[in-house]
């Protein structure tokens, strides 16, 4: 296995880093978007402030995504448990003005070489889509 690193494109959210951090650093805010998660993909979801446990279609066990480190208004780092490889990801924030905070997502995972060829581009596309989605959340209303 070799460690792979994927970075999203940088997106811009029209709010402060503090507003984004307040929302994303508390996993219980996932309750606000629970209805948007496809029911055929995620059968169960248990949400706590620092972690979410989900039962995903096709996997025998629950996956846990937990916040493992925070740098206030700057970075939120997550770890994954129950997945067949070591993986973590983080969200980085850089405020340029009160109405412009840049968001970048990074994933680092030990992916076997044969799987890297199959999922690498899908993972990159998914990261870019997630960055676009995070840039559109109404953080100012939620914070």
- For residue range 80-122, what is the model confidence (pLDDT) as tens digits? 988 877 889 999 999 999 999 999 999 998 888 888 888 888 8
- 2-142: CATH topology is Alpha-D-Glucose-1,6-Bisphosphate; Chain A, domain 4 (3.30.530)
Cα angle 78, 63, 139; round to 5:
45
- Asked if residue 14 has pLDDT above 80, the reply is yes
- For tokens 């995903």, the residue is 56
- CA-nearest of 73, 96, 69 to 19 is 73
Res 82: pLDDT: 83
């Amino acid at each position: 296995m070799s460690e792979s690193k994927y970075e999203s494109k940088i997106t811009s959210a029209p709010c402060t880093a503090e507003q984004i951090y307040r929302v994303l650093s508390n996993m219980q805010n996932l309750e606000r978007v629970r209805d948007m998660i496809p029911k055929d993909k995620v059968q169960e979801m248990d949400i706590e402030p620092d972690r979410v446990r989900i039962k995903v279609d096709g996997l025998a066990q629950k996956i846990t995504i937990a916040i493992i480190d925070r740098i206030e208004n700057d970075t939120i780092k997550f770890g994954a448990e129950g997945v067949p490889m070591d993986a973590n990801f983080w969200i980085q924030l850089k405020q340029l003005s009160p109405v412009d905070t840049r968001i970048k997502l990074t994933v680092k995972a030990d992916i076997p070489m044969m799987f890297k060829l199959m999922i690498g581009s899908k993972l990159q596309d998914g990261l870019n889509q997630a960055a676009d989605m995070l840039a559109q959340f109404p953080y100012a209303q939620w914070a």
